[in-house]
Structure 1
């Protein structure tokens, strides 16, 4: 009887252990993850530029409702659509890519709404200045990737920052201080 009870307890522990999900790590796919930023230009229009290369890792533990996000944006790939303006954006007045070639985001916490990630708090570093920001997710979706035959997740996250907080205040207030940063990300499971 004791052996049967012990076997039942062991079987119950094993079955409950398999129901807990382990953390899953995903590598950011640079070809489908191009962060962008938008700002008001003299009030005439909203201008949009992007970065052509972002790398990093995303870890999610759905059962524990925890995770981490680490994104590195190559600031030298800033693309406004105009090569001359790209050079201007890389100068000291703005990104100063000669001294600060990357922009980073490192999460401090990941918040879930049910089974989906809803927001990510973390530290954004631009031009050597680090500030806390919250990325709010407009979308979050995971499924097997139909071409890669691996699990993949995608998200689109946004936050608003002030250029002056990152020593990039040239032409404020004519060119808006407030910038909307959008990070669309696709990541493939390791």
Structure 2
């Protein structure tokens, strides 16, 4: 995120702090597919690799009066995951890793939003939730940023962008194949453009 974009974010969300009442209704947002990507990284034999996975569905509820009350539930289409190496994709989708024949989707459901400095989803904010992969559910915490499009009016929150970053240990979910070739840690970088639902 550029310094300009971060400054726009902070200006636009300056009034959205944890001091507001918690009973305000949430606002539903929907994904803008062309502005959304789920990227992951991993190492094969010490060489960095990357891939993408499409989002199948998402339920995004943002409390604009108290961002800590916001929730997100996302389902990924694991069976359509892609990597730059064709042989790596086949192995990744197979029984030893994602096992997409039995578990074609991956789901994340948020359980807590920890706001950053000034009560904003930025500057150290995190989203914790339950990640279900291969039928195994474990908590995961992701770094979070929420910001407006550059140049948009500070009062206009119809369009927003979210970025979530973090990592997981694939063995925690039983995706333990090819241990002699593939590193344990998988990095996550999720970017999503969202718009206020009509």
Whether contact under 8 Å (2:148, 2:157) holds in the other structure is no
TM-score between both structures, scaled by the size of structure 2 = 0.75
Q: Does residue 1:31 correspond to 2:41, yes or no? A: no
If each structure's strand is expressed as a fraction of its own residues, which one has the higher value?
1
Q: Which residue of 1 aligns with 2:114?
A: 111
1:52–1:81 Cα change, 3 Å: farther
- 1:150 Cα deviation after fit: 8.2
Aligned residue number for residue 61 of structure 2: 59
1:4-153 matches, within 5 Å, as 22-43=25-46, 45-65=47-67, 66-113=69-116, 114-117=118-121, 118-137=125-144, 139-142=145-148, 151-153=158-160
Which portions of structure 1, spanning 4 or more consecutive aligned residues, are displaced by more than 6 angstroms? none
Question: Which has the higher Rg, Structure 1 or Structure 2?
Answer: 1
TM-score (norm 1): 0.78
**Structure 2 gaps, min length 5:** 1-22
* Higher helix content, 1 or 2: 1
The answer for unaligned runs of 5 or more in structure 1 is: 1-19
Contact residue 144 and residue 150 of structure 1 kept, 8 A? no
Equivalenced residue count is 167
Cα contact 1:27–1:189 (8 A) shared by 2: yes
Q: Please, what is the CA RMSD of the aligned residues?
A: 2.5
